[in-house]
Structure 1
């Protein structure tokens, strides 16, 4: 049987510097995180059963390996990085197990290897290229119509909240090195979970779920303010939007926990926006792995709306947009079932020269289309501001 070995190592320093290749897998949060490279195994999946299929594939892969884990911490031993589509259509979700993993958590550092990987020389990260942003002359007008229609449905009592998203597309003027983007995002948003997983790069402020032994936690965000914003976080509109999101996460986690603490909402200040946030922490009542929890939480009211079926139906009708892996779970899981799964926000998908950014807003009965447009612009800035002075083409 193939051997998976994890051994303690000296502190490697900045984990971003440990990633030797542009296609390295990265997961950073504060001073902790992981950098992986090489592909020991890869699994692509689509459809409504994508989460369970990925879990089953990982279990089957583990059953054919001999694991020697001399660290025994969350993230040691075999680890799979994952990125899943928002919707259950034909889009591609992915699970990747790296051949080599360098990680740091709780003051400990370690290396995991699968088999006997070679260690070729790495490459120096490339600077980010220029971008030609593709013009959409009617985008703002279309957005106003979408939000206005959603507000009408909410005021008519058909649903309570829907989250609408939009995308911005660009053409890269040269090679894109995710390591450079992640490094800049990590410097600007050190409190976020910064990631690069199979062409998806971002800095998410929202933890869908983290599981470490019997401990589980979540960070729910809904309600946004930004420099120049005219609404603020102290309005009834924001309170309603946030409460719906927090309640949806609490309902799911309570079914799996013997004890659950839902903390009072607080303001979470980031470099470009400020969110209303609720921390949830608890103790699991039974053995359930992190990805299963994430699959049952997804999609929360923070990225879909409520009631779920009505909100999903309306956003599919109004957005005319394939979200891909935007707003889907992104993160990692180890052989014990520990892991962290965030909602893929403040992110971009890169495929060859094509760059695609996303942003969304929670729409409730008091939403104003112009204000929601400016909110998406502020959120898009998290990625757009990484690049040089933009140009625009039709």
Structure 2
């Protein structure tokens, strides 16, 4: 871990107060940094972070548990005043974690200097300051903050559309060396090899992915694609944390006041451009598919088995249901329970990740196959992204339908999007390739014209 030495825990002071508005609620994204937005939103609930009070970095096999341990120490030492009391208020850290312990991409927790949050018709502002350990400070009152005192909202800049393409096409068009070695042909060959190993009994399921690449202007206003994702994918969690942007439909762990929720997705059908009759036929076919029900059962059971020691009163959907998104149908199972012990959401994520939905079954063997056949670093794609509060509650989703933005170089930034699908016995390479095209659509559309 870097960012804060283990021997020196910073004392944070956070004050959360209602934010007064003049009737119409302002657009949250308008407060975000245009090039480096820190954003979390679903429907009418969300938050924007401004600046960094502290940044913690982690890597390796114990990145989740190390992050949880450090966060427990920081939260215990913090002076937290919360005059709002809603979920997502008070001291918060936003985070994004790599999929693989071997990843060169660091996992981070970021505590913003300021947070503007919203839940329904209520808005609030949290201010965070850092003091030396043992330093006290006078208490603030619960007086509402006026708009004049809040961070300034700025209009969105005009958006210049970009195209994302396969690594080989990107290289041919730009002359740049692609970040990913995985070509379209390489992906379909990987599907064939994965199915061969499944048929041989080496494993039951593996989730293989591929990447698209592009470049955007260094001064591009990333709030525009984020606004598009938030508006189009209302039932998903739209995020921008440390350059990872996307909109995920899959809840890894949500804990509020001891109540646990998760949503498991596995089994997919494209639905873009279909008539209503054809769309409903696709939905019915997905629900009736033995292959997809088999794949989904692996994913749902892995979550239930892993979490059972930490939860009580655990219930799941009686049967997988069809979740409708603008681009696809998913088989979905909701999981609900009560916490049985004092655990943080990050500790639950550590126990669950990687799930069968984004790794495979058996998980350890599947991750090794992924490492061998994909031949690229997934980074934070299919890792965990979300937030944790001072009590250890929070929301974490699997980083899907997302892209990683790089730093500015010669006036541009790289963007790498990832998408994949679960492979079981009988998986067809062309079908799996088309599924990735559908899963790329949220990002390619958001960053397009």
What is the TM-score when the length of structure 2 is the normalising length? 0.82
Distance 1:133 1:210, change over 3 A: closer
Structure 1 segment 98-113 matched on structure 2, within 5 A: 98-105=112-119, 108-113=122-127
SS of the aligned residue for 1:322 comes to: coil
Matched, 1:197 2:241: yes
> Unpaired runs of 5+ in structure 1?
390-394
2:303 is aligned with 1:244: no
Q: Secondary structure at the match of 2:112?
A: strand
Quick check: 1:3 aligned with 2:13?
A: yes
Q: Partners of 2:314 and 2:218 in 1: how far apart?
A: 49
Deviations 1:72-98 (A, max 9, x none): 332221100000000001321111001
Shift of 1:257: 1.2
State the partner residue of 2:158.
Answer: 127
Q: CA deviation at 1:61?
A: 2.9
**Which of 210, 235, 252 lines up with 2:254 in the alignment?**
210
Corresponding residue for residue 137 of structure 2: none
Partner of 2:426: 366
**Quick check: 2:163–2:444 contact (8 Å CA) kept in 1?**
no
Change in 2 beyond 3 A, CA 1:100/1:313: same
Residue 333 (structure 2) aligns with: 278
Equivalent in the alignment of 2:7: none
Is 1:96 matched with 2:151? no
Paired residue for 2:312, among 258, 262, 265? 258
Q: Measure how far apart 1:177 and its partner are.
A: 2.5
CA RMSD in angstroms comes to: 2.1
Alignment counterpart, residue 66 of structure 2, candidates 46, 49, 53: 53
For structure 2, the 5+ residue unaligned runs are 1-10, 131-148, 170-181
Question: Do the aligned partners of 1:248 and 1:300 also contact (CA within 8 Å) in 2?
Answer: yes
Deviation at 1:36, TM superposition (A): 1.2
Contact 1:132–1:172 (CA under 8 A) maintained in structure 2: no
Report the secondary structure of 1:217's partner residue: strand
Residue 300 of structure 1 aligns to a residue whose secondary structure is coil
How many residue pairs align between the two structures? 388
- 1:302 aligned residue: 357
Equivalent in 228, 235, 247 of residue 289 of structure 2: 235
Out of 100-109 and 272-281, give the one that drifted further.
100-109
Q: Which has the higher strand share?
A: 1
Provide, for residues 26-80 of structure 1, a one-character-per-residue CA deviation record: whole Å limited to 9, x for no partner.
Answer: 1101111111111111111111111122223323333443211122332221100
1:319 aligns with 2:374: yes
For the structure 1 residues 171 and 19, does the alpha-carbon distance in structure 2 shift closer, same or farther, using more than 3 Å as the test?
Answer: closer
Q: What are the residue-to-residue correspondences of 1:110-189 with 2, within 5 Å?
A: 110-115=124-129, 121-131=152-162, 133-135=164-166, 136=168, 139-173=183-217, 175-189=219-233
- Alpha-carbon distance, 1:329 to partner: 0.4
User: What SS is found at the alignment partner of 1:242?
Assistant: helix
Distance between the aligned counterparts of 2:195 and 2:158, measured in 1?
43
Deviates more, 1:195-204 or 1:141-150: 141-150
Cα drift, residue 284 of structure 1: 1.1
Answer yes or no: is the 8 Å Cα contact 2:30–2:153 preserved in 1.
no
CA distance in 2, matches of 1:191, 1:127: 27
Is 1:346 equivalent to 2:401 in the alignment? yes
Q: Contact between 1:224 and 1:233, CA under 8 Å: does it hold in 2?
A: no
For residue 437 of structure 2, what is the aligned residue in structure 1? Answer: 377
| 1:80 equivalent in structure 2 | 93
How much does 1:291 deviate? 1.0
Displacement, 1:286?
A: 1.2
Change (3 A) 1:26 1:293: same
For structure 1, which segment, 125-134 or 265-274, has the greater mean C-alpha deviation from structure 2 after superposition?
125-134
For 2:243 and 2:33, locate their aligned partners in 1 and report how far apart those are by CA, in whole Å.
Answer: 16
When residues 106 and 387 of structure 1 are mapped into structure 2, their CA distance, relative to the original with a 3 A threshold, is closer
Q: Deviations over 1:175-204 (max 9, x none)?
A: 332321111001110100000001000000
Q: Which moved more, 1:186-195 or 1:90-99?
A: 90-99
SS in structure 2 of the partner of residue 131 of structure 1: coil
C-alpha contact 1:80 1:333 (8 A) present in aligned 2: yes
2:99 and 2:210 mapped to 1: Cα distance? 14
Q: CA deviation at 1:387?
A: 3.0
How has the CA–CA distance of structure 1 residues 158 and 16 changed in structure 2, closer, same or farther, with 3 Å as cutoff? same
1:261–1:292: structure 2 CA closer, same or farther, 3 Å change rule? same
SS at match of 2:343: coil
